[in-house]
Amino acid sequence: MNLVTTEILKTNEVKPGYFLHDYNAPLMAKTSEPGQFIHVRVAAGPHPILRRPFSICSAKEDRLQILFRVVGEGTHLLSKVMPGEKIDIMGPIGTPFKIEHKPAVLIAGGIGCAPLYFLALRMKEANIPVRFYYGARSVSDLPLHEEINAIAGELNITTEDGSLGKKGLITDVLPDRLTQDFAVYACGPETMLHALKKILDAQGISAQFSLENRMACGVGACMGCVTRTISGFKRVCVDGPVFSSDDVVI
């Protein structure tokens, strides 16, 4: 883990309210793995006091990329920074996805596509076939669907309003049998992970879930970001963010 004040190379509002940021961070980019996050300082002054954690969306050469949606004060401030300005970032942090060498099913809900996009990039390099399932409320909430389409062997999209792909929820269009032949990775809202866990549990298979939570320290010190697991409260920041679906209590 490193803490650096570095340059913002590029900002791009890929869909209204969804931003891709590229930061110059050679050391972090080199050591980042899919599922890990960076902890970003959003204000120089006393408010907002907490950093914001964002999944790493890609890491290549000197560049580290995050994707975020403007949901509140912190992300609003972050969306206003410009290329050339400085940013204070800490990372990479957390337990990454464990990449299994068998065909992969990646299931993303909305902004949850960020770590799975990074994962799909790495799987492409490793020649692991990827079936990508990507759902959101509407086409305007599918920020990376074209990029994902370009790298995944198969992309299935659902939107709740039917504006792109099949109308409905992503958990409605999964393959009938998610067998042991596939490795399943997922990231999305709690409702999606809850529905997915039911499906997985019914079929007796497990997946890797990337969870999110509000965080204070981001390094495992404050115990603020815990989630329920079958073996008690675990810190999302360093015990996760990637957990086995068997362990999480959603």
Residue 71 in the binding site for other proteins (CB under 8 A): no
Q: What's the DSSP call for residue 212? A: -
Contact criterion met (CB below 8 Å) for 24 and 60: no
Q: Does residue 161 interact with other proteins by CB under 8 A?
A: no
Q: Which runs of E-coded beta strand occur in the chain?
A: 2-15, 18-24, 37-40, 52-60, 63-69, 86-93, 104-109, 130-136, 154-159, 166-167, 183-187, 207-210, 226-229, 232-235, 242-244
Please pick, from the candidates 71, 222, 230, 249, the single residue that binds other proteins as defined by CB under 8 A: 222
Residue 9 interacts with other proteins (CB under 8 A)? no
Nearest to 144 by CA among 118, 173, 183, 170: 118
- To which H or E segment does residue 146 belong? helix 145-151
Among 15-23, 42-50, 61-69, 167-175, the segment contacting other proteins (CB under 8 A): 42-50
150 three-state secondary structure: helix
Among 24, 70, 81, 88, binds other proteins (CB under 8 A): 88
* Three-state DSSP state, 50: coil
Q: Does 84 bind other proteins (CB under 8 A)?
A: no
Per CB under 8 A, the list member of 41, 131, 145, 197 interacting with other proteins is 41
127, 169, 181, 198 from 153: Cα distances, Å: 10, 21, 16, 26
Any contact of residue 226 with other proteins (CB under 8 A)?
yes
Residue reference for tokens 């997915």: 196
Residue 47 within binding range of other proteins, rule CB under 8 A: yes
Does 81 sit near other proteins (CB under 8 A)?
A: no
Residue type, 18: Y
Q: Which is nearer to other proteins, 132 or 243 (CB)?
A: 243
Question: Smaller CB distance to other proteins: residue 10 or 86?
Answer: 86
Window 175-214: contact mask with other proteins (x via CB under 8 A): --------------------------------------xx
Among the listed ranges 125-133, 172-180, 200-208, 223-231, the one in contact with other proteins (CB under 8 A) is: 223-231
Is 216 one of the binding residues for other proteins (CB under 8 A)? yes
- Nearest-10 Cα torsion for 108, 127, 27, 66: -20
Residues in contact with other proteins by the rule CB under 8 A: 1-3, 41, 43, 46-51, 74, 88, 90, 213-228, 232-233
